[in-house]
Structure 1
């Protein structure tokens, strides 16, 4: 906005409340919209009363703004659209939301987060050019958190990677005898399945496959679309009887180029990728999953697999379920060596959300920028 242009009126309490409502609406579709974001929208009449609302339910379906406009009908003329993401300005499977808002006669648009994609961005400028009042950045932090997986993927051009683990206060995931069930309680385990349901894919390595024979589906009463199951199995030694190869969801078994290709039951796939002395190229795997439209990956593999992602700088978030327990030096460590030889080379995180689940704590950590080297 240039210095000579009139500033739009300040955000009203009704618009602030509507944005909070839109953030909650957007969260309704977590795990269902890829490769699209989750978005919520509320339409307000001139007196601040809601006249329509909606959220994006999935790729190919109407965007949140269109859902809200349909609910409002003729009441949309002169209304304010409150939306969690800048209205899009491009023609995809559905039309541009900026044009839909203009056609409906919306007078004002309040949004939370700028669209970071070059294909869809620019909606705010299009609306302003047509004379619509536009205000951005309202409840930005809350909307960013709600759409964190997609926004991270859009900004980095690869899926957002969440590393999830359950461990003790001294960073152990199993006792010296290998037992790990159950370090955390039932509430933490159920929450882990809720977390799984919000991601497009869940990933483990061959070590976890051999020791736990995981299923990687949704249990504990959690419903929704099961994530794609991805198993890194460098040598292709997976058994046809593995639980991850049932018909609950498709599975991609990733092997090293040149390895023998396992024969899998119908509905599952083998993917061969480059490999080096440290294992399968996880950066190339992330690129391939992104090409397939996946925007978030939940890493549930063991210490070695987590270290492979840490080594490549591919851990965006960590969700740690911590039990009030110590196991000592004989226990299995949360994370293998990833090359850090000093404090400066350590993987730093910022604390995010924290709350108690039964006797356990759930911590959300986000990768922090690495500090610059100290001047000498």
Structure 2
């Protein structure tokens, strides 16, 4: 004869079937319990001391029992052979409004600028805030990694946290509750940390004389050749494309000639790069087929790689991502073109 002590084998919302662990909070006012015990043996379930269900274990030594119309608040479900005997298992649940567990805001700790989901930023320190169970503690997670240190949640369900220095690359942040079964917020808040130049803080300048230069945050920008006296390089000109959105570099070519090139260089002010990515958008309104060459050059003047693109008026406004490839020791990018285009958002790695 079996001496197995009866126990709850699972609990889910009813209807719905979402798993519930001991100690969880749920907005569902119905639950389903599964149990295991001696085949044919009686059982009762009590809720805060009151019998709410009774029956017998089936020939497979199991039972399934739904409970509905549960009141708001804490419920102590106990499994017993009968109401007068001690419980053989206990399952605690709280029925109440669904708790909010989320990251509401991520800002640059230094700049105070809001960083939206999916944004790329050069900042590595963040001020985060959000919602979780009041008077509890939570963890910050990056991907599958729990970041050391508990974060306190106040009595208004609010929490704030300033991160340490975060590494470059894609970051995927969530919050893990230090309660119940460790719920994790969804969806993830993603951002990319990278060194980049977008010319947003570069003063507006027109380079018209060969040898003339200007500095941006990351580059020394120098005019090397012009196709005509009326040609110039317009630094920090405003454009509003999908990826090139804001101040950009715009070479004005006048007149457009498919055999005469205007050339300028972007030299990294400090160090070198292993790889450089950026965007261009065609901005020419003529029907002349244009050529653009991009040269990636090391500190000794050696060309590491060359990219070529040909475009015409049908490509007006078309955005194209450019990638140097993993080269190592890139010091300078040289642009040489017969036509007009916009270039922006240089990501350095």
TM over 0.5: no
Structure with greater strand percent:
2
Where relative contact order (Cα < 8 A, 6+ residues apart) is larger, the structure is 1
State the TM-score, normalizing by the size of structure 2. 0.29
State the TM-score, normalizing by the size of structure 1. 0.28
